[in-house]
A and B are shown apart, each in its own frame.
Chain A
Amino acid sequence: MTGPAVRPSVPPGAEAPGFGAFVAQAARAGALVVQPRMGMAQAGAMRAGLLATRAALAVTVGTVTLDSYTRTGDLDAARRALAAGAGLNGYPIATHPVEVTRGVLRGVADAGFPVQVRHGSAAPEGIVRALLAAGLDATEGGPVSYCLPYGRTPLHEAVANWQRSCRLLAAARGSAVEPHLETFGGCMMGQLCPPSLLIAISVLEALFFRQHGLRSVSLSYAQQANARQDLEALVALGRIADELLADVDRHLVVYAYMGVYPRTPGGARLLLEDAARLAVRGGAARLIVKTTAEAHRIPTVAENVRALETAAAAAAVERAGPPGAAPPDTGIEAEARALIGTVLDLDADLGRALVRAFAAGYLDVPYCLHPDNAGRARSSLGADGWLRWSSVGSMPIAGLVEGGRPPILGSAGLLTALSHVQRRYDGLAERLPAPTPRGLPAVR
């Protein structure tokens, strides 16, 4: 049995250290880096979470996920909640004094265990200042993916905010620091967004980061509902990134399914293992895990550690096996290239190009309620989990992908599509053989 790979040692001075270098080193050593989504309000709990993540039997990086108040810039609410001891759904990095956050990270975050800040803000300057002050230099987001899907900040404001934030982050570059920024573009809406648009936004955001000074980026893609479609998408994302971002350090990161998660521990585990297999087969270097508690509540540290170890073990097994066949091309790459090319042709300034693209509906996120989204695109899920466009609106991709146009979903159809993965994996878990009690021989 192949165990998870051991944490790579990062020799000092080998290359500019930091998040990207650590992941690259792990990839060369044959290990998939696994990462939780984890943030606690209190410093002690946050530190304990990071220590546990570091100690997991896997090659891990740490996460400080911020709370919703900090994300939306309501620092007063974060301060009040902290003072009142009310629960926060993440770590309020701009509210805790910087010494407190440094204390959280001291002796935990270093070249052998980089920590990334995850937030979701369309106005992230304060967050970037706070993470840099605390000694961190890796975060995620993007002008589109941290604006359109879930907020109401006008897109042109998010673009300006992200431009300034990228420059702030890039300016922290030093001999011992290579700031890293990950696109969240591959996760738009979490689910039901066809892969070509996920790829396009992820690539366009990475190009935006590069335009504003970043030299180390990662491109995200969230697992959807059909492994073959996801593999084709991930291979296409890697190919396009290699072509358009050849001059920067880069890697692909897969997110375990971001939609309605299986309710059963078995179903959740099977889905996570599939995400790990997808990451390995698709050439990703990092995986954001989900836990068995995901459908019910914010997971505990122990549940996160278990998820990290489960994913690392599945990835190691997959890597040890024979390489899978290349996925057949159904047109995802052609669609993604058409979207990217159309946007790049609009304006040499990526920020302006993105704003114009959304205004014209050349990019149009299905089911996105943001006022700057055209809202004419619709998607649907086949019985096999294959995502298809029901309507492409004004996007320049009509007829590039195989297959017909499914009808536009109503509320019942939407609910069925949203819970497809949950049902499928909970069903698979039911059919698994019951676990053999420890210490007893298996019945033959």
Chain B
Amino acid sequence: MASDSHTWNLVFLQLLLEELGHRVTNLGACVPDALLLAECRRIEPDLIVISSVNGHGHQEGLRVIPALRACPELRLTPTVIGGKLGIAGADDPDRERVLLAAGFDAVFEEGSSVAGFREFVAGLRSQVLL
């Protein structure tokens, strides 16, 4: 997310996905929308993982997902978001619904387990392993 500078979540997700056999391009902190779009179009990944913990994830996720979906090559790419998505805690029941309606395939709010994410990754149709 363009405004989020946190990276421990990204380091962990990279290690986890690599251990699950996937190749990871980690775009790091403060990813501008244009960079995210350009890299995703270039790589055409099997999964786009957006992780944010600074509380702006909800706002920024809603801005980014239509831009991703507007690219023909990314229209159906599995795209998930997770972390601490608002500034007031993880108990907003509407947030997941709104993010899913906007086009995300899954939402992993803080507190949901790593197992849920693993399961999602295991269920991906494309299982391109190195």
Interface residues of A (CB under 8 A from B): 68-69, 71-72, 74, 77, 81, 86-87, 89, 120, 149-152, 189-191, 259, 296-298, 367-371, 409-411, 414-415, 418
Contacts and interface: CB of A to CB of B under 8 A. Distances in A.
Contacts of B11: 367, 369, 414
B4 interface: yes
B94 interface: no
A72 B3 contact: yes
Contact of B10 (A86, A87, A89, A369): A369
Given A68-B3, A89-B55, A120-B5, A152 B28 contact: yes
Contacts of A371: 28
Interface residues of B, number: 29
B59 interface: yes
B29 interface: yes
B98 interface: no
Given A87-B86, A89-B87, A150 B6 contact: yes
B15 interface: yes
A74 B3 contact: yes
Contact of B19 (A69, A87, A152, A410): A410
Contacts of B86: 87
Given A72-B2, A149-B7, A190-B8, A87 B55 contact: yes
A152 B59 contact: no
B129 to A, nearest CB: 17
Given A87-B86, A298-B55, 20 more contacts: A68-B5, A68-B54, A68-B56, A71-B5, A72-B2, A87-B88, A89-B56, A150-B7, A152-B28, A189-B7, A191-B8, A297-B89, A367-B7, A369-B7, A370-B29, A411-B16, A411-B19, A414-B11, A414-B12, A418-B12
Interface of B: 2-8, 10-12, 15-16, 18-19, 26, 28-31, 54-56, 59, 84, 86-89, 114
Contacts of B2: 72, 74
Q: Is the interface of A mostly helix, strand, loop or mixed?
A: loop
30 contacts: A68-B55, A69-B3, A71-B5, A72-B5, A86-B59, A87-B55, A89-B54, A89-B55, A89-B56, A149-B5, A150-B30, A151-B5, A189-B8, A190-B8, A296-B89, A297-B87, A297-B88, A298-B88, A368-B7, A369-B7, A369-B10, A369-B11, A369-B26, A369-B28, A371-B28, A410-B15, A410-B19, A411-B12, A411-B18, A414-B12
Contacts, number: 83
A122 B18 CA distance: 30
A334 to B, nearest CB: 29
Contacts of A368: 7
Q: Is the interface of B mostly helix, strand, loop or mixed?
A: loop
A53 to B, nearest CB: 19
A72 B30 contact: yes
Nearest to B87: A87
Contacts of B55: 68, 87, 89, 298
Contacts of A410: 15, 19
A120 B10 CA distance: 19
A368 B8 CA distance: 9
Nearest to B54: A68
Contacts of A77: 3
A296 B5 CA distance: 18
Contacts of A150: 5-7, 29-30
Nearest to B60: A77
Contact of B8 (A69, A152, A370, A418): A418
Q: Which of B10, B18, B54 has the most CB of A within 10 A?
A: B54
A298 B87 contact: yes
**6 interchain residue pairs of minimum CB distance:** A150-B5, A411-B15, A68-B3, A369-B28, A411-B16, A297-B89
B89 to A, nearest CB: 4
Contacts of B4: 68
A224 to B, nearest CB: 14
A190 B11 CA distance: 14
B67 to A, nearest CB: 15
A362 B126 CA distance: 41
Contacts of B87: 87, 89, 297-298
A287 to B, nearest CB: 23
Contacts of A414: 11-12, 15
Given A68-B4, A74-B3, A81 B59 contact: yes
Nearest to B88: A297
Contacts of A87: 55, 86-88
